[in-house]
Amino acid sequence: MDPLEVEFLAEKETVKIIPNFSLDKIYLIGGDLGPFNPGLPVDVPVWLALNLKQRQKCRIVPPEWMDVDKLEETRDLERKEDTFTPAPSPYYMELTKLLLNHASDNIPKADEIRTLVKDIWDTRIAKLRLSADSFISQQEAHAQLDNLTLMEINTIRTFLLDSLNCMYKLRSNLQPASSKGQYADF
């Protein structure tokens, strides 16, 4: 899966915006949106929020978790725990990227948030690598990893699967019985 695809999925998440225009309910396949009242917060999908933002039709209200204090807490917890803690949002990385890139003027302390989310991401990815490493080194058949987000799974998937495949091949070649196979390969 492409990261862009994951991002696309993340755009379905809702976010609050404060529109500066007036529009009745709009009826879309994905559900009804609105009504839009100027100055009154309304929930819309991220893709629409960004679109409106780019056209300067709204202000985006950052999601609740996108707050320096809360993220600091999450980061500290993430660092303390050996296992994965629940992510602030299933699409925290994607949303942070999208919102900060397009609406950083509406998000207080955008830079700090960017750093914090990057910290959390790094911590989690490090854990993920570590667990993949121990998974392989201990030659386990299966492992359980909770609270992984889609993006994180996606990051490790190609590498992990390919390497496991590769290792499987190598390992099966080591066994005496497979020496025939080796010949067969040639």
Partner 1 sequence: MPCERKPLRFAHCEGHTEVCFDDHGKFIVTCGSDGDVRIWESLDDDEPKFITVGDKAYSLALKNNKLVTASSNNTVQIHTFPDGDPDGILTRFTTNATHVTFNCSGSRVAAGSSDFLVKVVEVSDSSQQKTLRGHEAPVLSVTFDPKDDFLASSSCDGSVVVWNIEEQTQVISWPLLQKTNDVSGANSLCRLAWQPRRAKFLAVPVETKVVLYERGSWDHVITLSDDLLTQPVNVVAWSPCGQFLAAGCVGGLLTLWDVNSQLCVERQKHEKGFTVCSLAWNPSGSQIVYSDTMGCLGLLDGLSLSSSSTSTSTSTSTSTSTSTSTSAPKPTAAKKPAKEYDDLFDDDDDDRLMDEGLSDTNSPLKKHVAGDEDDDDDDFLMPATGRVRNRGAILDDENSLDTGSLKLGPGKFGDDDEDASGAIVPVSAPVLPLRPVYDGPMPTPPQKAFQSGSTPAHLTHRFMMWNSVGIVRGYNDEQDNAIDVEFHDTAVHHAMHLTNSLSHSMADLSQEAVLLACSSTDELASKLQCLHFSSWDTNKEWMVDLPKGEEAKAVCLGQSWAAVATSSLILRLFSIGGLQREIFSLPGPVVCMSAHGEQLLIVYHRATGFDGEQALGVQLLQLGGRRRQVISGEPLPLTHRSYLSWLGFSAEGTPCFVDSDGIVRMLNRSLGNTWTPVCNTRDTCKSRSDHYWVVGVHENPQQLRCIPCKGSKYPPTLPRPAVAVLPFKLPLCQTSTEKGQMEEQFWRSVLFHNHYSFLSSSGYETDEDGQSKSLKEQQELLMKMFALSCKLEREFRCVELAEMMTHNAATLAIRYASRSRRMALAQRLSEIVLEKANQIQEEEPEEPESSSIRRNSGYDQSEAAAGHHSPTRGEQEEEEEEEQEQERGGELCEEGDQQEMETEEPTGNRKRFNPFAKESVSSVTPSLTPINKAGRANPFKVLGSGKPSAPPGQTRVTNILDNMTSSRKAAPHAGSAGKANKGPVLKPLAPRPKSKAQSTLLQMTGSKTTSKKTRDSSEPTAQQQKQQEAPPPASSADNTENKRPKTGFQLWLDDNRKSILADHPDMEAETDVIKEAMGRFRTLSADERLSWTERAKGLTGEAADLKKRKRATGEGEDGVDHENGATEADENSAKKKKSLDPSSKLSAFAFNKK
Q: Is 163 in the site for partner 1 (CB under 8 A)?
A: no
Of 27, 52, 46, nearest in space to 91 by CA? 46
Q: Is 41 in the site for partner 1 (CB under 8 A)?
A: yes
Q: Considering the complex, what minimum distance in angstroms separates the CB of residue 91 from partner 1?
A: 22
Choose between 86 and 108: whose C-beta lies nearer to partner 1. 108
Name the DSSP letter for residue 50: H
Query: Which range, of 20-28, 93-101, 110-118, 162-170, touches partner 1 by CB under 8 A?
Result: 20-28
Q: Is 22 in the site for partner 1 (CB under 8 A)?
A: yes
Q: What is the number of other CB atoms lying within 10 angstroms of the CB of residue 46?
A: 24
Counting Cβ atoms within 10 Å, is residue 58 exposed (0-12), middle (13-18) or buried (19+)?
buried
In the window 61-90, what residues touch partner 1 (CB under 8 A)?
61
Own/partner pairs, 158-163, CB within 8 angstroms, 24+ separation: 160/132, 163/136
Backbone angles phi, psi at 139, to 5 degrees: 55, 45
Q: Is 39 in the site for partner 1 (CB under 8 A)?
A: yes
Among 1, 8, 21, 30, binds partner 1 (CB under 8 A): 21
Q: Residue 17 to residues 31, 46, 62: CA-CA distances in angstroms?
A: 17, 9, 8
Q: Is 3 in the site for partner 1 (CB under 8 A)?
A: no
Q: Considering the complex, what minimum distance in angstroms separates the CB of residue 119 from partner 1?
A: 23
Residues that bind partner 1 (CB under 8 A): 16, 18, 20-22, 37-41, 56-57, 59, 61, 108
